Chain A
Amino acid sequence: MKNVLIIGSGIAGLSCAIRCAEQGVKATLISPFPSERAQSVMAAGGINAVLRDCEAGDSVHSHIEDTLRGGSFLGGKNAVTGLCTRAEEIIRYLERIGTVFSVDPSGSPSRRAFGGQSYKRTCYCGSSTGKQIVSALVMEARRYEAAGLIERRLWSCFHSALIRDGRCCGALLFDESTRRIEAVCADATVVATGGQNSVFGKTTGSTQCDGYTAGRLFMQGVELKNLEFIQYHPTTVETAQKRMLISEAVRGEGGRLFYTDSGRRVYFMEDKYGSRGNLMTRDVVSREIYAAGRDVYLDISFLEQKEIDERLPEVRELCRKYRGLDIAREPIPVAPSVHYFMGGIAVHMNHETNIRDLYAVGECASMYHGANRLGGNSLLSAIYGGWTAAEEIAGREAAVRHYDFSGLAERESAALMSRMETESRFPVMYIRDMLSETMNEKLGIVRDQPTLTDGLADIDYYLSVADKINYDPAVMPYFNYSLTGILTLSKAILTCALSRTESRGAHYRSDCPQEDDSLAYASVITYDNGAFRVRFDKEHEYES
Chain B
Amino acid sequence: MRVKVLRQLSPFTEPYWEEFLYDGPGDNTVAGLIDYLNYHDDIVDINGKKTTRIGWECSCLQGVCGGCAMVVNDMPRLACETFLRDLKGEELTIRPLRKFPVIHDLVVDRSVIHQNLMKSDIFIGAYQPSDGADHEHQYSVAKCLKCGLCLEVCPNYVNGDSFFGAIFANDCYLVSARNSEKRKEITELYHSHFGNSCSKSLSCMDVCPMKIETIASIAKMNRQRG
Contacts and interface: CB of A to CB of B under 8 A. Distances in A.
B219 interface: no
B62 A98 contact: no
A452 interface: no
A41 B31 contact: no
A239 interface: yes
A37 B67 contact: yes
Of listed A36, A42, A125, residue having the most chain B CB within 10 A: A36
Interface string A163-198: 000000000000011010000000000000000000
A318 B144 CA distance: 16
A98 B29 CA distance: 35
B225 interface: no
Interface in B14-42: 25, 27-29, 31-32, 35, 38-39, 42
B64 interface: yes
B160 interface: no
B31 A131 contact: no
A18 B68 CA distance: 28
B142 A131 contact: yes
Given A41-B64, A131-B64, A140 B127 contact: no
Nearest to A208: B59
A36 B65 contact: yes
A196 to B, nearest CB: 15
A433 B11 CA distance: 29
A240 B52 contact: no
A94 B122 CA distance: 17
Contacts of B43: 474
B63 interface: yes
A471 to B, nearest CB: 13
Interface stretch (B89-97, B111-119, B189-197): B111-119
A408 interface: no
B183 interface: no
B139 A179 contact: no
Interface residues of A, number: 55
Given A207-B61, A241-B31, A318-B62, A135 B144 contact: yes
Interface stretch (A142-150, A258-266, A282-290, A506-514): A142-150
Contacts of B75: none
Interface in B143-161: 143-147
Contacts of A206: 59-60, 65
A34 B111 contact: yes
B52 A474 contact: yes
B60 A98 contact: no
Nearest to B80: A241
A136 B29 contact: no
Contact of B53 (A202, A239, A321, A475): A475
A98 to B, nearest CB: 4
B60 A42 contact: yes
Contacts of A176: 103-104
A241 B32 contact: yes
Nearest to B51: A474
Nearest to A432: B39
B39 to A, nearest CB: 6
Given A126-B139, A474-B43, A146 B118 contact: yes
A465 interface: no
B79 to A, nearest CB: 10
A427 B38 CA distance: 11
A481 B114 CA distance: 30
A242 interface: yes
Contacts of B32: 240-241
B124 A239 contact: no
A426 B142 CA distance: 44
Given A42-B60, A474-B53, A135 B142 contact: yes
Interface string B99-127: 00001100001110010011101111111
B64 A240 contact: no
Contacts of A38: 59, 65
A306 interface: no
B57 interface: yes
Contacts of A155: 103, 109
A429 B62 CA distance: 22
B184 to A, nearest CB: 18
A241 to B, nearest CB: 5
Interface in A291-320: 314, 318
A528 to B, nearest CB: 35
Contacts of B175: 98, 139
B139 A42 contact: no
B170 to A, nearest CB: 11
Contact of A125 (B25, B123, B139, B179): B139
A48 interface: no
B178 interface: yes
A54 interface: no
A39 B59 contact: yes
Given A37-B66, A140-B123, A143-B125, A98 B57 contact: no
A144 B25 CA distance: 47
A177 B60 contact: no
A128 B144 CA distance: 12
B188 interface: no
Given A42-B60, A476-B55, A142 B118 contact: yes
10 contacts: A33-B57, A139-B175, A143-B125, A177-B109, A240-B28, A241-B32, A244-B62, A474-B52, A474-B53, A475-B53
Closest 3 CB pairs of A and B: A98-B124, A143-B123, A135-B142
Interface of A: 33-34, 36-39, 41-42, 95-100, 102-103, 125-126, 128, 131-132, 135-136, 139-140, 142-143, 145-146, 152, 154-155, 176-177, 179, 202, 206-208, 239-242, 244, 314, 318, 321-322, 427, 429, 433, 473-476
Given A139-B123, A241-B80, A474-B43, 18 more contacts: A33-B67, A36-B66, A36-B147, A37-B65, A37-B67, A38-B59, A39-B59, A100-B135, A100-B142, A125-B139, A135-B144, A143-B123, A179-B10, A207-B58, A207-B61, A239-B61, A241-B28, A241-B29
